[in-house]
Chain A
Amino acid sequence: AQSVSQHNHHVILSEAASLELGCNYSYGGTVNLFWYVQYPGQHLQLLLKYFSGDPLVKGIKGFEAEFIKSKFSFNLRKPSVQWSDTAEYFCAVIPSGGSYIPTFGRGTSLIVHP
């Protein structure tokens, strides 16, 4: 079974700082990759996704992620965070075959100080 590891459980930044959240997965086959954001008290919303093609994907609100197949990684980045980016971020993996059961990481809580 696949697994997803988000190394940073809590991240605290000041506004305008750069952000990188790590996501590594373990699965031997082809995967579809996602980052979701959950603002306080709200449901999860899709930030960006990668299925194939250019490994650098751009999402909403200035976020981007890079798929590095050799490292089984899909790290999320943003050059300059804002206070409104305070939220919990989840990486998710769906194998492109078999059961297609998604696996979510445990989440990273990001707090941005104004």
Chain B
Amino acid sequence: EAQVTQNPRYLITVTGKKLTVTCSQNMNHEYMSWYRQDPGLGLRQIYYSMNVEVTDKGDVPEGYKVSRKEKRNFPLILESPSPNQTSLYFCASSLSRQGGNGYTFGSGTRLTVV
């Protein structure tokens, strides 16, 4: 089944403790991206990647890092999480950055930073 898999689904952590949210897709998509979803603000792009070793900032990159060492994986790293990063995070992939047949989204990771 074609899908984007995110882990974990839920995460509660403390301020300053480094964490990684994993994202993996099995569709051989070139384009992958991370979003955060906050009430009243919709989805905002954090980082995106157009291919292996090619990443770039989205609209809200501060406090986040990403890497794209393999085509299928695109982890999101919070080196020193803060409470304002409490949010619902989605990873998405598509055939191309133009959107192709649309994005395929993961199931989301609800992160709480206390």
- The answer on a CB contact under 8 Å between B45 and A101 is yes
- Residues in A with CB closer than 8 Å to B102 are 34, 36, 46, 49
Known: A34-B102, A46-B102, A49-B99. A101 touches B48 (CB 8 A): yes
- The answer on a CB contact under 8 Å between A90 and B43 is yes
- Residues in B with CB closer than 8 Å to A43 are 90, 105-108
- Residues in A with CB closer than 8 Å to B103 are 34, 36, 44, 46, 102
- B59 nearest CB neighbor, chain A only: A101
- Residues in B with CB closer than 8 Å to A90 are 42-43
**What's the nearest-Cβ distance from chain B to residue A19, in Å?**
19
Number of B residues, CB within 8 Å of A:
24
Interface members, chain A 43-61 (any B CB < 8 Å): 43-46, 49, 51
Question: Complex: how many Å from CA A81 to CA B14?
Answer: 43
Of the listed residues A9, A42, A49, A102, the one surrounded by the most CB atoms of chain B closer than 10 A to its CB is: A102
Question: Complex: how many Å from CA A29 to CA B101?
Answer: 20
Flag whether A22 is at the interface (Cβ < 8 A).
no
**Interface on B for A, CB 8 Å cutoff?**
33, 35, 40-45, 48, 56, 58-59, 90, 92, 97-99, 101-103, 105-108
